[in-house]
Amino acid sequence: MTLSKHKKYMEMAFKEALKGTNRTLTNPLVGAVVVKNGNIVGYGHHAYFGGQHAEEQALIKAGKSSKGSDLYVTLEPCSSYGKRPPCTDIINKFGVKNVYFESYDLNIENNKKASKYLKKFGINSFKIDTGLPSLSEYNAAYVKIVKQKLPFIILKAGLTLDGKLCDKNGCSKWITSQASRIFSHKLRASVNAILIGSNTFNKDNPKLNIRAPIKYKYNDPYKVILTGSGNLKLSNELIKKPQKGRVIIATTLSGKTYLTKRLKKVPDHISIETFSAMSNMKIPIKKILIRLKNKYNIASILVEGGAKVFTYFTKKSCFDKFYLFYSPRFFGTGGKCCSLFTETLQEQAGKPLKNRIIETIRLSSDILTVIENRT
């Protein structure tokens, strides 16, 4: 069969895979199609963490037609017992003849092992390269989790061309265009959690919900608030009303005491996580991220500010991408104008770049510049 035929089927599998966006983590996105005599007889995707794998879903859909079929799957099939039986066994059970996959799995349990198991069953398998986006592009969060055991971090700011988050009156609302705001809401629907600092929480009383049409099913992201002191406005929406997506407050022991004293009863939709040494620029970011991953299965986080939070994450180089939505405005310096960062950073003129611009997109009057952290 020519590569172009393979490519056609693999692209369909890839489209299937994307249907799981935001819900499969900490598992990867995977899509599969079953082809028999040139006809698609089954297709499927990994739809949520703990759910059926793409291969199993596609083969069940194909039923008896699976016998003697070609299976296209975006990722190397698993060959170990996890939450589901190994896909290699299932593939065998359904009588598949040939398996084509695009990327090796990074998970050490499965990495480069499928072929060996499939061969035992007399099934041919081929790693092919049809030029789809790389695993680290469409499964960036999965790759980060496997390699670094840390969630994928996206920072996101709406700012002026002179780098200001708010104007001389301290106002930060309606800086960017509607197109930028819609894009931001789509970003929210792609992650497991949204994180903000206490200043942003107290000042903006944000909803952190998704107010844009999203084409795929998604899980409402957790809403994480960082506060060393526990000094949060209790009348704010995220505390007062149950939300789609649980609220997690990351604070200190004394912050928790202060909060619970004022709250009397911690509302059911809120979890409080305590950490030591969490004040004055001493936020233990990595500890927080690891807890969020291990306890809540959070594998991707959108950090929405404010300036202090951006400063913590940037100083510790604790981000993967930075989405900067620039409005063609200038606010200048002084008054309550607030810069993107509250402290000096290590970066210097003339030194090698730590970041790379990977994309620029015009969004109505604005320009979105996407940065990738290269350190």
Q: Which residues are catalytic?
A: 55
> Using alpha carbons only, what angle is made at residue 240 by residues 235 and 243, rounded to the nearest 5 degrees?
140
> Of 33 and 166, which CB lies nearer to its own copies in the complex structure?
166
Q: How far is the CB of 366 from its own copies (least distance, A)?
A: 8
End-to-end CA distance of the chain: 42
> Using alpha carbons only, what angle is made at residue 23 by residues 20 and 25, rounded to the nearest 5 degrees?
105
Helix (H) or strand (E) holding 62: helix 54-62
Q: Please give the Cα distance from 90 to 62 (Å, whole number).
A: 13
Tokens describing residue 212: 């844009």
Q: How far is the CB of 332 from its own copies (least distance, A)?
A: 4
Q: How far is the CB of 309 from its own copies (least distance, A)?
A: 14
Q: Please give the Cα distance from 225 to 375 (Å, whole number).
A: 26
> Of 103 and 200, which CB lies nearer to its own copies in the complex structure?
200
Tokens describing residue 227: 């506060």
Tokens describing residue 285: 């970011």
Q: How far is the CB of 365 from its own copies (least distance, A)?
A: 6
Residue with tokens 């106002």: 171
Bridge partners for 193 per DSSP:
222, 301
Whether 304 contacts 156, CB under 8 Å: yes
Number of Cβ atoms within 10 Å of the Cβ of 81 = 10
Q: Around 173, how many Cα atoms within 13 Å sit in the side-chain half-sphere?
A: 5
Number of Cβ atoms within 10 Å of the Cβ of 103 = 20
Residue with tokens 């600092």: 197
> Of 61 and 168, which CB lies nearer to its own copies in the complex structure?
168
Q: Which residues bind its own copies (CB under 8 A)?
A: 160-164, 166-169, 171-175, 311, 314, 324, 326-335, 337, 339-345, 347-350, 353-357, 360, 362, 365-367, 369, 371
> Of 58 and 340, which CB lies nearer to its own copies in the complex structure?
340
Residue with tokens 């040139």: 38
Q: How far is the CB of 328 from its own copies (least distance, A)?
A: 4
Q: How far is the CB of 187 from its own copies (least distance, A)?
A: 18
- In sign, the C-alpha dihedral spanning 77, 82, 83, 84 is positive
Q: How far is the CB of 177 from its own copies (least distance, A)?
A: 9
- The two beta strands, 124-127 and 152-160, are unpaired
> Of 167 and 320, which CB lies nearer to its own copies in the complex structure?
167
> Of 9 and 322, which CB lies nearer to its own copies in the complex structure?
322
